A and B are shown apart, each in its own frame.
Chain A
Amino acid sequence: MNRIQKKIWMLAAVVLVIMAVIWITLTYYNQKTQSQYNDILQRYLRMNEVTSASQHVVTDLNNYLLEPSEVNLDKLDHSKANIRRAKDDVQQLKNTENEFALTNYMNLIDSLIETTDRSLMFYSESDTEASNREFTEATRISKYISEMTLTLIDTELKTYDRFYRGIIDQSAELKKLGIWLMLLITFLLLMITYWFSLSITRPVQQLTRAANELSAGKFDKEIKVDSNDEISFLAQTFNRMRININNLFQEIQQKAQLEHELQESKLLLKESQLRNLQSQINPHFLFNTLNTLSKKAYLEGSEETSDLLVNVAGLLRYNLKWLDRSVTLRDEVMVIQQYMNIQKARFTDRLTLNMEIDESCLDVQIPGLTLQPIIENAVIYAVEPREDGGVIWIRIKDSDERVMVEVEDDGPGIPEHKIQPILAGEVVHTDGASTGIGFTNVVKRLRLFYGVEDVMEIHSRMGYGTKIIMKIPKTKGVEQHVKANDRG
């Protein structure tokens, strides 16, 4: 944590260090140059001091010779001490270039002092002439010292010429260095600041973009922020939130879908019932009437008619009774047999029915009244319109996980362009000959019941017949679906 703060501190520290380094360097350099200047000045000052000190000696000597008092002697001693000190100072200026001249110079000073002393000595011995001679010599030596000072300073200037020029050049270079350094630092600081600000603002921008997308409802895009500070932490949290919201959202959608499907299946059921009710004219009345008719036919010796009536009554009862619940395939097959008995009575020889039924498959659960509408269709299209009748095959076979129910006829077939809409569950306008519950109704109900899309295949060749295959899962699909939801 505290990464952003750390970064800011780091930037400040870098700037501070750079400034400190430059300041220290320049100060150090300045000090160095200053002391060099001082040294140089010192040299000249010291040499100059010798000249004036030597002149003082001569003046004081003169004063003493003219007026030999204690004060003047003190003065003379003082100036002699001065010139000795000046000599010691000059001694330090010795270097390889001026060694010879400087030694001469110092010896000259010695000579001056000696001559002065001699003059004093002669004076004290009252040898005025000798004393004066020595004084003249001292004056001359003092003059030589002045001249030599100038020569030395001149030599000095020549010797140090390169040095002085160096200093001037260096100060010019220093000015240039200042400019370059400023450019370099400006550049570097701009770069560092840019990089630094980017490292803060880029994650923020990414986060902003992600937030925008999230607010626009795109929950499936992952939020990724390439940074290692608080923003990244924020982004991770944000991403987790997005995933949670996304999951919740999907769950709600699934539930809504499920509800929608349930609603739909209920509607379909209602529709079937309504259709059925429409076709029931007071079913109990009809039912009782049919039974009475059957008894009557039986009593009148027409057993065949009586059976037919019983079949019709059974069919009717089945219709009323099982429509809204699941039945076994066995019940369906029984109804179909009753139905076919009635149709046989109607079409006699024109209808040939072949049934191949695998008894082991008949315990499969199936929504009520699913087979009958299909067979009714086959009868309507393949048998009814044809003078010479038609053949209908019904096969129930076991196929691993599913039970295959095939209804085949040798009728005119279904045009290719109609097959798809039927399977897709769209309402197909038929010519109204069917008893009610349509083909599409069956498809939808099967799908809803098993929760599987792939429940029916239609194979048809124009002029040769149609084969409808219902693929019924052995386990009930809704249970699977519920289980799947529990797991999710």
Chain B
Amino acid sequence: MMVGEDVITGVFDSGGRGYEVSYGFGIPSWKKVADHAIEGREDFKACVGKYDDKAEGADVLNFTYGPSTGGLTESIKFNIYTYGERILSLRPEPSYKDRKLQVSGSGLEMANLRIERYCGPLSPFYSGMLAAAVESVMGADQDNDLRLARVIMNEISRISDHIHVIAKLAEGASQNVAYNLLFALREKLLRLIARRFGHRYFFGINGFGGLVRSANFKGISSEVRAIVDEFRQIWIRLENSRIFIDRIQGTATLKRAWMVGPAARASGTHIDARMESSFLRYDDLDLHVSISSGADTLARTLVRVDEISESARIIERAESMIREVPVAGRTTKSEVNGEISVRAETPGGDSLMRVTLAKGIIEKIYIRPSSLQNLAVFAYAIRENLLTDFTFGYEGLGIHISELGGVL
């Protein structure tokens, strides 16, 4: 039996006729479920963003944090129930900034541009998923060089996101030299991306059947390696700081079968969509999956640190194999029909996309992003922690609020 085979990993509401549910972390398949009993399951709730949150009793104080406040980079509201300094319960409300991103009804190019802006910092993952879904429905064999190009873009993006998460943790722990150096390192990486791909967030690069503009992959791995080596130097100092480690060790501990990404791997679960993905294969890249066992913010950070080095190694290998990446046209004319589900391992973990195409138009789209599971992890894991642990529990999960908005 595979890890988490009976775990609900995606819920598609069929509009009053029950649900279509995806189980397990492998190649997605959907089952119709009319039984509303599944609504009580924790993994179901994690997929639809509902949490058991209320805490009542004498001296329980309920207050809100957000939706817009200096401590949050993106808008979200938290209802927090406390007893003294202890957090008893917490309910996130990410719907404030829900843009209700309209993708269905769009032609392929517009859908691609909008999906890039579904979550800007993760744009190569989502535009790559959409492109791969469409290419698959079209019946096109994926070009090997295009696959390697997408692997390189995704892994650079993963390094950038992981460095950002660790920088935010250092900022929270007032490790100001470390946090400044880490943010500088991320800036260096963004400048590298802009030089080689024309845009700091990979906008306008992923197309259908190729890249929309040519990108320069020659020597990219040595530039990335230099940044990762610099990161290691900063990390060696950071992991020797008791002030830093004390803030993240034993903070926001949780182990659940439905967890994804670094949170799952930090609790000893061996899952990574890169091992299973049918559309973006890593099987010739000797992917090593990082595992830790503490299930707390420290363990999640250690997984990310390992993954930064692993991503650099994958980029080196991919660059050595890449030849000529096909260039796609800016318009794609197609009359194809079909439905497909694809997965990708974003920096936060497994994300799932289901796309229905009708006459070359996106008829329906559903995304279950990793941030949805990670927000549920935060809501459950922060219980019985202190208010001062909030930052470390939240930032350590690398949640992107924009990912939590609806895609219509």
Note whether A and B form a binding pair: no
Contacts from B to A (Cβ < 8 Å): none
